[in-house]
Amino acid sequence: MKCPFCKGDNTQVIDTRESDEGDSIRRRRRCVSCDKRFTTYETVELRMPQVVKQNGMRSDFDADKLRTSFSRALHKRPVPTELVDAAIDHVTQKVFAFGEREIGSRQIGELVMKELLKLDKVAYIRFASVYKSFQDVDDFTDAVDAVRKPSARRRKSD
């Protein structure tokens, strides 16, 4: 660490303390060259991966875009906000856990679809219709059949 006063390269740590929240470390330092003291803070820097869109363009991961996708799919659906927030956090954590510098927008879409399927089947169909670019009614029928409970499928075929 360089001294902010004399720009010397040799500094000593005099005191180290963890913050009350436990999310940073405060270090009191002394410059060996000019004997002046200064404080530094050490925090964790988490970097989300870049999102690679289908056209090859890259953009920063944006949790607000994720929230917008969930909101559109869940519009006027009886799903508590806490569950939506938890689903968004789950997707964000999964994206971060991949540990990659880049992630395809398709991978994020698949994660969103899994979470929507758990939350609300109608919202899942709404999102899937846009995400998978449904072209006709048969695409909707196939998607609805895929999310139906096995017992409902058996009753229909009886």
- Name the token pair of 24: 């940073």
Q: Are residues 80 and 22 in the same domain?
A: no
Average pLDDT over residues 127-153: 73
Both 30 and 55 in a single domain?
Answer: no
The answer to whether residue 156 sits within a structural domain is no
Question: Is 105 inside any structural domain?
Answer: yes
Residue 84 lies in a domain: yes
Domain that holds residue 134: 50-143
Average pLDDT over residues 21-40: 93
pLDDT, averaged across the chain: 87
135 and 60 part of one domain:
yes
Give a three-class secondary structure readout of the chain: CCCCCCCCCCEEEEEEEECCCCCEEEEEEEECCCCCEEEEEEECCCCCCEEECCCCCEEECCHHHHHHHHHHHCCCCCCCHHHHHHHHHHHHHHHHHCCCCEEEHHHHHHHHHHHHHHHCHHHHHHHHHHHCCCCCHHHHHHHHHHHCCHHHHHHHHC
pLDDT for position 111: 95
Same domain, 39 and 81: no
State the pTM of this model. 0.63
Q: 89 in a domain, yes or no?
A: yes
* Average pLDDT rounded to a whole number, residues 31-43: 94
pLDDT for position 90: 95
Number of structural domains found in the chain: 2
